[in-house]
Amino acid sequence: MRCINFDKEFERYLSVWMKEHAKEYKNYDEMEAAMPDVYADFLDTPVNWLGGAKPGEYFSQFDNAHQLVNWMEDYFKQRIPAPDMLLNRIAELGLAAEESLMNLLKKEKATQEIKMAAITLLREIESVAPLEYYIGLQAIREEGEDELADNALDSLASMGEQAVDAMRKALPLASPNGQEALLTVLSDYPGDEDVFQTALRLFHERRESVAILADCLGKLGDERALPALMALAASEETPYLDYIELRSAIEALGGEAPERSFDAEDPAYEAMRSMQ
């Protein structure tokens, strides 16, 4: 399928529009505020480069989900921005696109950018087919940023209770980073002893993740976490931002956080104070 660069076509449209309408605006800010309306007009204007179709409606004529997913892949391969209208059309076709998106997600040579798009679309069509694949991405997490795993984690969260049992089973086998990621979702479903014990253990072991794990313990709602939270909140070595999260968790569990004083040596505290 032909991959038309809709972004470049809009740039041409905008260039003509600015020449015709620039004098109608007092400054750049006013002109910038008009951009959403200009783009809407672009989408709703029949154009020759689409055989007389409107850009906003062009992809609506295609009903083959497999064809559209392949078309999206071609856009990425050719390094042409995939049009939102194409992505929206795939999402509109719903679960009819599920198999093709899953194949793309598991394709060995697919780039991360393509896989990110596939994950986002699978989430939009509310597919649970990639559940195990997403959990696998969490289980092997290493240190540092992982945008693909983060996107998959958002999808696990959106699946709600459908994902909980599988995530609980994977928790003991995951890497420490994977356990932490899974806990950020599982903490919304309190009551499981293994989940609580894992969160409490990581809270003691992962000093760099105190804020995240304190939030998890607060949401899990188990008062047995209070002594550990209170002790760290009282420590003079605990920085201001961590203390704020610890205090929130303590209060969520019905406790009262120890009072602390901070000074200019804590850059986060100083920055917050300067904003008040």
Mean pLDDT of 138-154: 93
Closest CA to 250 of 211, 210, 275, 223: 223
Burial class (CB in 10 A: 0-12, 13-18, 19+), 98: buried
Name which of 27-36, 186-195, 228-237, 262-271 the model is least confident about.
262-271
Model pLDDT, residue 246: 96
Residues in the chain: 276
Q: H helices within 50-97, ranges in order?
A: 65-77, 84-92
Task: Output the CA–CA distances (angstroms, integers) from residue 65 to 28, 91, 226, in the order listed.
Answer: 41, 9, 52
User: Is residue 274 pLDDT above 60, yes or no?
Assistant: no
Per residue in 174-231, pLDDT (tens digit) is 999 999 999 999 999 999 999 999 999 999 999 999 999 999 999 999 999 999 999 9
Phi and psi, residue 5, nearest 5°: -85, 95
Model pLDDT, residue 27: 85
Mean pLDDT of 58-80: 97
